[in-house]
Amino acid sequence: MEVDFNAIAEQVGNLLQKKNLRLVTAESCTGGWVAQVITNIAGSSNWFERGFVTYSNQAKAEMLGVSRDIIEKHGAVSEEAAQTMAKGALEHSAADVSLAVTGIAGPDGGLPDKPVGTIWFAWANTTGALATQCRHFAGDRFSVRQQSVQHVLQGLVNFISAGNRI
């Protein structure tokens, strides 16, 4: 599957600039891929504030405020973790809108209730709007991560365009 990440990132950038918004990313399973796609666009410094790559639970806690309680009760791959990542990214940046992605890209790590390919997404803004989605992507590790990057960026466009709903 060929994805035109530049087109999606340009669409994100144009929308953020039109709305005079700055973006922060909080990534786990995508390992900075979203930030890389965004910064591929010339001029992205006008609308991309920063990115957090919080691959470990400790990093999620230290950098974004994901509590041990959330990890123990719900897991790092959960709606609660994704929400806290999105909110924490806003709290630890000068951005207006955030996106977060956390999941199990594989090939290992899946559980019966959270199989490989389970990804949680969250989008938030400084006015308090928050949206989440869970998706189950098929394919190998690369494909799951690629689909996650595409989905979180398209979700951001939808979140901003639809009045902070997905």
| Structural domains of the chain sorted by starting position, each given as residue range(s) with its CATH number in brackets | 5-161 (3.90.950.20)
SS3 163: coil
pLDDT tens digit at each of 166 positions of the chain? 678 999 999 999 999 999 999 999 999 999 999 999 999 999 999 999 999 999 999 999 999 999 999 999 999 999 999 999 999 999 999 999 999 999 999 999 888 889 999 999 999 999 999 999 999 999 999 999 999 999 999 999 999 998 766 5
Q: What single-letter DSSP state applies at residue 17?
A: H
Q: Which residues contact 142 (CB under 8 A, 6 or more apart)?
A: none
Output the DSSP codes for 55-66.
Answer: -SHHHHHHHH--
- Report d(CA 130, CA 115) in Å as an integer: 25
In the sheet that holds 97-103, the strands lie side by side as: 48-53, 23-27, 97-103, 118-125, 130-136
C-alpha 87, offset from chain centre = 11
